[in-house]
């Protein structure tokens, strides 16, 4: 088997939610996919099985995205198995919600370690290793523009992601590698729906002019565009939120 002819994607946080949908969407476009996961091996294996069952190629690799040695090893596996790396989608992240006055600072540190340090660690390896013609896609959030109470710590971490994204795009001048971020609005994932009553979900679904929640597939379509045909889009934050302002 020629492992260098097809494009290769690493998707962090690829075992569930939006990351899982991105894995399947990129595989459908012909990418060999490395499904990175933090701790849930069964879900990562299920993502791999879905890709392989549809005729694609995928493997699961565990790595803490904030651990530089683990992330370097993740890229090593991708290169050994599939011949290189063309697309890196950094979807791994955690969300802690609390008013500023009440936030647990240890929880803040854990979230910022994953969301901010993790973006630097993954971005560092991606900047060194993604092949010409490739793409790096980070994840922000539309809550940055909405300024919702309780989201200050999470939004702050994603503000950092946007800053890294825009600057890295310029640092990679001459490499023919794009760097963009996708900023979803309310999206119907298990993480989003957990703990919300029907009234809250209905209210949030009514916010965008399209009058529904986003789906993981909606977000995966944007990622697939940036990873392939949208190569002229670079150094941008795409607010995929149905029109919420």
Bridge partner list, 35: 11, 60
Which residues are identified as catalytic? 154
Dump strand ranges (E) for the chain.
8-12, 32-37, 58-62, 87-90, 135-139, 178-182, 237-238
Q: Which residues of 126-150 are buried (b: 16+ CB within 10 A; e: fewer)?
A: bbebbbeebbbbbbbbbbbeeeeee
Q: What is the pLDDT of residue 4?
A: 43
Alpha-carbon distance of 117 to 220, in angstroms, equals 24
Alpha-carbon distance of 2 to 134, in angstroms, equals 19
Q: Is 120 exposed, middle or buried (0-12, 13-18, 19+ CB in 10 A)?
A: middle
Alpha-carbon distance of 24 to 16, in angstroms, equals 11
Q: What is the pLDDT of residue 1?
A: 28
- Domain map (residue ranges) of the chain: 8-187+219-238
What is the CATH code of the structural domain delimited by 8-187+219-238?
Answer: 3.40.50.720
Cβ neighbours, 10 Å, residue 180: 24
Q: Which residue has the tokens 């200050």?
A: 152
Measured CA distances, 222 to 59, 113, 230 (Å): 23, 26, 9
Cβ neighbours, 10 Å, residue 154: 23
Q: What is the pLDDT of residue 207?
A: 87
Q: What is the pLDDT of residue 5?
A: 58
Residues 6+ apart with CB under 8 A from 142: 183, 184, 185, 239, 240, 241, 244
Q: What is the pLDDT of residue 245?
A: 72
What residues of the chain score a pLDDT lower than 70? 1-5
pLDDT tens-place string over residues 80-93: 999 999 999 999 99
């Amino acid at each position: 088997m020629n492992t260098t002819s097809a494009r290769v994607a690493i998707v962090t946080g690829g075992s569930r939610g939006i990351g899982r949908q991105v894995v399947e969407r990129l595989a459908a476009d012909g990418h060999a996919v490395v499904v990175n996961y933090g701790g849930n091996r069964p879900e990562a294996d299920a993502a791999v099985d879905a890709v392989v069952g549809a005729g694609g190629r995928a493997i699961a690799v565990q790595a803490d995205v904030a651990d530089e040695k683990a992330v370097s090893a993740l890229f090593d596996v991708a290169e050994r198995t599939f011949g290189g790396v063309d697309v890196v989608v950094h979807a791994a992240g955690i969300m802690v919600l609390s008013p500023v006055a009440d936030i647990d600072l240890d929880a803040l540190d854990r979230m910022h370690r994953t969301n901010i340090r993790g973006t630097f660690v993954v971005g560092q390896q991606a900047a060194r290793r993604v092949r010409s013609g490739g793409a790096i896609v980070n994840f922000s959030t539309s809550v940055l523009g909405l300024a919702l109470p309780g989201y200050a710590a999470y939004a702050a971490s994603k503000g950092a992601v946007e800053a890294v994204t825009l600057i890295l795009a310029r640092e990679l001048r001459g490499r023919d590698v794009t760097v963009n971020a996708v900023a979803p609005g309310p999206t119907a994932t298990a993480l989003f729906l957990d703990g919300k009553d029907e009234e809250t979900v209905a209210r949030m679904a009514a916010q965008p002019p399209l009058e529904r929640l986003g789906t993981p597939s909606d977000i995966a379509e944007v990622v697939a565009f940036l990873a392939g045909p949208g190569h002229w889009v670079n150094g941008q934050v795409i607010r995929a939120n149905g029109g919420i302002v």
